[in-house]
Structure 1
Amino acid sequence: MITINPNKASLTTTQLEALKPLSSCVLSDALDVVLGRLSPAEQPVHIGGCLPGGIQEIRHYDTPMIGTATTIYAPNGTSLPLHLAMATHAQDHILIISIDECTNVAYMGDIQALLSARNHCSGIVIDGYIRDRQGIAELDMPVFSRGSLPKRPTKEELGGINVPIQIGDTHINPGDIIFGDTDGVVIIPATLLALVIDEAIKKEESDNNRKNKVAQFNFANAHTTLDYIDIMTKDVADFVKTNQDKL
C-alpha cells in the first residue's frame, strides 16, 4: 500500500531571491549556528542538514537547485511512488527519494526525468542510482544521485509520497527547503528558513571580508603563527592566542 499526502508548501519570491546568491556551504554553516542557539524544546522534531557526500549533481548546473520538498519513500527497489509523484506532486517542487539503502537498481531513467521536467519539477534528489544518464544530463532540470546503473526497478506497491523520510542522518519533512549545488545538498527545516537565511547572509559577508583580507595579506612579513591571526577564523585565532606559547 502507498501512502499519499498533500503538500502545498512553496517559497515566496523574497525567500527564493534571498537564497539564489548563497551556497550549500554557507547555508550548512548557518543552519549549524541556528540549531546551536535553540533549546532542545525549540528544535524541530525532524532536523535537516547535509545529505551524504555521495549524492552529487550528475553534471554541473549554472544555478543552484532550490525548492520545497515532495518527499518520496521508495523501499525494496520499487519506483512506483516516484512514478506517481512525478505525475501529480512534482510541479514547483523538488522530488527527494529515500530508498532504504537499496542500491541494486536504478530508480529513474530519461523518460521519467523528461516527464518531471515537462511537468515543471524544480529538481530531483535520489539516495540511489539513475540510468540513461546522458539523456537526463541533457535536461535543464537538476538531478542529484549516487551515480548510474543499468538495472531497472520494480513497481511493487510500497512506500509513500509526502511522508517523513530519512537520508543518511538527515530527516526530511514534506515542505522542507532543499538547496543543491556543486558541493552537495542541504535540507533546511521550513520552520527555520527565515533564521537560516539571515544567518547565511551574515556568514557570506564575513567570508567575503576574509577572502579580501587573505588576498591582500603580506605573507612575506608573516613569520609566526600569531602573524596570521587577522586572516584566521575567530575560533582558530582564539586558539592561537590562548596557546601561543605552544606554537
Structure 2
Amino acid sequence: MEIQTADLCDAHEGKLRIVSPMFRSFGGRAAFGGEIATLKVFEDNSLVRTALEGPGKDRVLVIDGGASMRCALVGDQLALLGVKNGWAGVIVYGCIRDSKAIGGMDIGVFALGTHPQKSIKKGVGDKDLAVTFGGVTFVPGQFVYADEDGVVVSESSLL
C-alpha cells in the first residue's frame, strides 16, 4: 500500500482534515496509515506501553501528549512492541527518544521532537476518546494517513 497524502488530498478534496505541519518523521516507514486508536496522556507513558502490547491490526496509535517537550512518551522498546504487535504507526503530540534505533524499525513514528528523558509511570490517562491537536480531531475508528508531506484524517478508509 503506497500512501501519498498529496494524492489523497487531490482525490478527496474537501473531505479530509489536514493536520497543521508540526511533525517530524522518525520511524523506518516514511509513509503509513490505518485506523485510529487514541490515547490522551501527559508525561506518563504507561498507557502507551499497554496499547502497543496489544494487537495493532495495522492501526495507528495517536497519542495526545499535550505537546509536552519535557520527556519522551515513546522509546525504542515501545516502538519495538509496536512492530512486533502489528501497529502501522504512532503519532505523538509530544516527544520520543531513541530516535536512531526507531529509524531502523518497520513502523511509522511521527512526533514533535526528541527528548532523552523518560516519562513517569503512574498509569494516568485516557484511551479511546476523540483527541484534538494540530487543528484536527482524531476519532477512534476513523483513519489517518501520514507521509513526507503531512498528516490527513478521513472518516473512512481511503485505501
Would you say same fold, with TM above 0.5? yes
2:41 is the counterpart of 1:74: yes
Residue segments in structure 1 that go unaligned for 5+ positions in a row? 1-19, 35-47, 198-247
- Structure 1 distance, partners of 2:27, 2:59, is 20
2:24 corresponds to which of 56, 64, 80: 56
Residue 113 to residue 60, structure 1, CA distance change in 2 (3 Å): closer
CA contact (8 A) 1:165 1:172 kept: yes
- Structure 2 distance, partners of 1:89, 1:95, is 11
Helix, strand or coil for the counterpart of 1:66?
strand
| TM value normalised by structure 2 | 0.88
2:21 is the counterpart of 1:25: no
CA contact (8 A) 1:107 1:128 kept: yes
Alpha-carbon offset, residue 109 of structure 1: 0.7
Provide the residue aligned with 2:87 in structure 1: 121
- Structure 2 distance, partners of 1:102, 1:73, is 12
Helix, strand or coil for the counterpart of 2:73?
coil
Residue segments in structure 2 that go unaligned for 5+ positions in a row? none
1 or 2 for the larger relative contact order (CA 8 Å, sep ≥6)? 2
- 1:39-118 residue pairs with structure 2 within 5 A? 49-58=17-26, 61=29, 64-75=31-42, 77-118=43-84
Provide the residue aligned with 1:236 in structure 2: none
- 1:112-151 residue pairs with structure 2 within 5 A? 112-151=78-117
Residue 29 to residue 111, structure 1, CA distance change in 2 (3 Å): same
Deviations 1:193-232 (A, max 9, x none): 56xx7xxxxxxxxxxxxxxxxxxxxxxxxxxxxxxxxxxx
Normalized per residue, the structure richer in helix is 1
Normalized per residue, the structure richer in strand is 2
Provide the residue aligned with 1:166 in structure 2: 132
CA contact (8 A) 2:4 2:147 kept: yes
- Structure 2 distance, partners of 1:164, 1:51, is 15
Q: Percent identity?
A: 23
Provide the residue aligned with 2:151 in structure 1: 185
Alpha-carbon offset, residue 155 of structure 1: 1.3
- Structure 2 distance, partners of 1:85, 1:60, is 20
| TM value normalised by structure 1 | 0.59
Number of residue equivalences: 159
Aligned-residue CA RMSD in angstroms? 2.1
**Greater gyration radius:** 1
